[in-house]
Amino acid sequence: MGFPTRIIDTAAWLLVTALLGSLGAASAGAHTIERTAIRELVRLQGYVDPASAAEEVIRLSVRGRDLSFRITDRQVFITVGAAGRPAEKEPPRLVLQGSRELLARVEGARPEQRVTLLGERRPGGTELFLAAVDLCPTGVP
């Protein structure tokens, strides 16, 4: 008579263990927080080392070298999932990150060349990760 009760006890123990395990997995899944990368896409247009500071001027840090940058046009787009609105002004200093080629284009820009920077950053961040740099030819407004 002892034999059937051991089988029942073992089966009951396995059933309880399986139920607790499934409840633990379900509750763990219920508390999983999905992380979303929130970024801003930033487009800045202006001139490096401007002669006049009539408009908004910020500092660009390019490979440890600071350059003045006069902003003539600015667009900021927040990616999906971000709360709030973009800041009205750029921070006083942006650190540019990117390929050597893109950074060299910014460093080599002449004062009369219009420079367009396209990059991404964290909202309110000071590091701009460049995706593209466009230099307008000399003499074109």
Element (H, E) at 50: none
Residue 9 has pLDDT above 70, yes or no: no
% residues pLDDT > 90 (the chain): 45
37 vs 114, more confident: 114
103 vs 7, more confident: 103
How confident is the model over 103-119, as a mean pLDDT?
Answer: 94
CA distances from 3 to 11, 12, 13, 34 (A): 13, 14, 15, 50
